Amino acid sequence: MARIIVITSGKGGVGKTTTSAALAMGLAQRGKRTVVIDFDVGLRNLDLIMGCERRVVYDFINVINGEANLNQALIRDKRCDNLYVLPASQTRDKDALTKEGVEQVLVELSHNHDFIVCDSPAGIEHGATMAMYFADDAIVVTNPEVSSVRDSDRMLGILSSRSRRAENNEEPIREYLLLTRYDPLRVVNGEMLSVEDVQEILSLKLLGVVPESKAVLTSSNSGIPVILDRESDAGQAYSDMVSRYLGDEVPHRFLHPEKKGFLSRLFRG
Amino acid sequence: MAVNPNPRKTDPDGSRSFELKAASFTLPIIRLLDANVEAVAARLGAKVEKAPDFFRNTPVVIDLSDLPSGVGAIEFPLLVGLLRGYGMIPFGVRGGNREQNAAAEALELAVLRESYVRRGKSANETSTKEIDMEVSPTPPREAASSTPAPPARRPGQGFMLINRPVRSGQRVYASGGDLSIVAAVSSGAELMADGNIHVYGPLRGRALAGMNGNLEARIFCQDLQAELVSIAGHYRVSEGIPTELRGVPVQIFLDQKILRIEKL
């Protein structure tokens, strides 16, 4: 049976799709048979980030409606044999996601995959609740700013009450925090919430801190998951995150300003 | 230490113009067994004819939970008009599905949450104090558009214990007893109890103790950062909490109906 991971946040634009692509690629590179599903029906982006937008024929909704079978809709990644992408439909809306349909697809995927990564849309409406309903693990992507933290908190509340595990009184979803777009320099200057601030509010296991990085935008625009950019800090941070998710103890990096400028050296005394 | 009883700069007379309290009522319920309003009208007419005074100016709740599943939309405008015509004051619905609740809300009918249903039922079964607890993921306004969550736990004792963080948007109500939280309460979360409230983590949300009007109820917390605290309807918002009492262990209680916050 596959483990189902939802990447969620509540707030938009915090890096859910970037994280989904990086996690899926990272798991696949470590030999895990992985599929990543775009739940953002109507606003699909994952195919672009994964660089497979020109190979989309059938999509998730086609499979749910029985217009195509899974093998027709799954797109195998060209860089990694263990990785498949199931794109969202761009022409439908999120109501096309039925609980039964989603469950059927997940069950079928479970048979021959190790991990199913669900890229949730923003918000707490139908699309987002469908993405998280069947999850075993949840990675809550949060930016170090108050509105994102509050939305993540709201999402965590929904995870603990409206998932299949909650409704069946099973062991609750394992929840992890991923802090993205972290700028240590701005934290030092008091312009941004620190890791400790966010953790104090959300009281959650920290899976990783991804620094604000130009590499993310560059990778996204060229359809390469940023985890493949091993030179970049963001790519390394995502790689660490995957290791931690798989149970390795990896120290957190990129928490402090890298180059000690004159000013910061002065203030740190 | 004593706290300024009237931190908001309103005139003293104005601040006593009302009290916010909770109370429970026994109300007649119109339990619909048929979605056909005309059929209801015929039978109701006969019933009211027998005791017209009984129904005059009586608030009623429309119960939709026993309708056969799969019935179409209820014609609320017709139904409400019908009930009003007989002198009743239909003010809310319960047990409806999402569409029905939305239609009821459109007519400004209150959508009563499941907890009211359960409490009503348990009151019928036993006359002793019955404890009813639930963790609802949605505030009442949203409850109309989403199904209420099942109760988190029902230990059958006079208190409720929660050892997971209470997140923004979650509401916890310990009916008939104390509420203890051994975790953080996020901003945007709401704690309610008929008895005392104890919080052993940072309290950043709202805490309302003595919901049934119990003036003796208290709130105890390790780290007060609340948005709002209230005892039996006497409340204070974050702005009115002195800074020296924030972030420290305190107890909150009523002294001569004045909300006091005291360091522990």
Give the DSSP per-residue string, B147-165: PPPPPS----SSEEEE-S-
Q: Which amino acid is at A103?
A: E
Query: Do the strands A174-182 and A115-119 form a parallel or antiparallel pair, or are they unpaired?
Result: unpaired
Cα(A55)–Cα(A84) distance, rounded to whole angstroms?
12
Q: B258 Cβ partners below 8 Å, 6+ apart? A: B5, B234
| Rounded Cα gap, residues B83 and B57, in angstroms | 10
For range A147-166, the mean pLDDT: 93
Q: Is the pLDDT of residue A52 over 90?
A: yes
- What the block records as the tokens of A199 is 């953790």
Question: Which residues 163-222 of A are in CB contact (within 8 Å) with B?
Answer: 166-167, 172, 200-203
The DSSP output letter for B19 is -
Residue A33 CA to residue A82 CA, distance in Å, equals: 5
Query: Quick check: B168 and A150 CB within 8 A?
Result: yes
Nearest CB among B137, B150, B201 relative to A157 is that of B137
Yes or no, beta carbons of B204 and A201 under 8 Å apart:
yes
Residue numbers in A near B168 (CB within 8 A) = 150, 153-154, 157
Examine residue B57 and state whether it is found in any structural domain, yes or no. yes
pLDDT of residue B76: 81
Prediction ipTM score: 0.75
Q: Which of B87, B118, B133 is the last residue of a domain?
A: B133
Interchain pair A157, B184: CB under 8 A: no
**CA dist., res. B195 & res. B214, Å (int):** 7
Interchain contact, B170 vs A162, CB within 8 Å: no
Q: Are residues B188 and B125 in the same domain?
A: no
| Residue B6 maps to a domain | no
Q: How far apart are CA A93 and CA A41, in angstroms?
A: 6
Q: Does the distance separating the beta carbons of B137 and A162 come in below 8 Å? A: yes
Q: How far apart are CA A71 and CA A182, in angstroms?
A: 38
Residue A255, phi then psi, degrees to nearest 5: -90, -20
**Residues of chain B contacting residue A157, judged by C-beta atoms under 8 Å apart:** 137, 166-170, 186, 189
Residue B253: inside a domain, yes or no? yes
Let me know if residue B190 belongs to a domain: yes
Last-in-domain residue among B117, B133, B149: B133
| Helix, strand, coil % in chain A, rounded to nearest 5 | 45, 15, 40
Phi, psi of A158 (to 5 degrees): -70, -40
Structure token digits, residue B237: 């918002």
The count of structural domains within chain B is 2
Answer whether B184's CB lies under 8 Å from B208's CB: no
Identify any residues that bridge with B166 across adjacent strands, giving them in sequence order. Answer: B185
pLDDT tens digits for A91-130? 988 899 999 999 999 999 999 999 999 999 999 999 999 9
Tell whether B37 and B80 lie within a shared domain.
yes
d(CA B76, CA B219): 42
Is B22 inside any structural domain?
A: no
Per CB-CB distance under 8 Å, the chain A contacts of B181 are none
Cβ-nearest to B165 among A150, A166, A203: A203
Q: For chain B, percent helix, then strand, then coil, each to nearest 5?
A: 25, 30, 45
A88, burial (CB in 10 Å: exposed 0-12, middle 13-18, buried 19+):
buried
Residue B149 lies in a domain: no
Lowest-pLDDT range of A19-28, A43-52, A222-231, B17-26: B17-26
CB contact under 8 A, A153 and B166: no
Q: In DSSP terms, which residues pair with B132 in a beta bridge?
A: B175
Q: Tell me, yes or no, whether B49 lies in a domain.
A: yes
pTM of the model: 0.67
Q: Per-residue pLDDT for chain B (264 aa), expressed as one digit of tens each?
A: 444 544 444 555 556 788 787 777 777 888 888 877 778 887 777 777 777 777 777 888 888 888 877 776 778 878 887 787 777 888 888 888 888 888 888 878 888 876 544 444 443 333 333 333 333 333 333 333 333 333 444 444 578 999 999 999 899 999 889 999 999 999 999 999 999 999 999 999 999 999 988 999 999 999 999 999 999 989 899 988 999 999 999 999 999 889 999 999
The whole-angstrom separation of Cα B34 and Cα B167 is 40
Q: Cα separation of B108 and B141, whole Å? A: 12
Instruction: Report the range out of A216-220, A263-267, B70-74, B102-106 with the highest average pLDDT.
Output: A216-220
Picking from A49, A103, A53, A93, the residue whose alpha carbon sits closest to that of residue A75 is A53
Amino acid found at A143? N
> B124 and B191 share a domain?
no
Nearest alpha carbon to residue B78 among B111, B49, B104, B113: B104
CB pairs under 8 A between A and B: 49
Tell me the CATH number at B199.
2.160.20.70
> Does some domain include residue B147?
no
Amino acid at A239: S
Look up the domain containing B180 and give its range: 159-263
User: Which chain A residue has its CA at the smallest distance from B145's CA?
Assistant: A125
Which one-letter amino acid corresponds to residue B8? R
Could you say which of B99, B133, B167 is where a domain stops? B133
Out of A2-6, A187-191, B68-72, pick the least confident.
B68-72
For B153, nearest residue in chain A (alpha carbons): A169
Q: Work out the minimum CA distance from B185 to partner chain A, whole angstroms.
A: 9
For residue B68, the domain's CATH number is 3.30.70.260
A172 chain-B contacts, CB cut-off 8 A: 164
B→A contacts (Cβ < 8 Å), by residue, are 135, 137, 149-150, 152, 164-170, 183-184, 186-189, 201-202, 204
Q: How many CB atoms lie within 10 A of CB A137?
A: 17
Are both B39 and B80 inside the same structural domain? Answer: yes
Asked if the C-beta of A156 comes within 8 angstroms of chain B's C-beta atoms, the answer is: yes
Residue B125 has φ and ψ, to the nearest 5°, of -70, -50
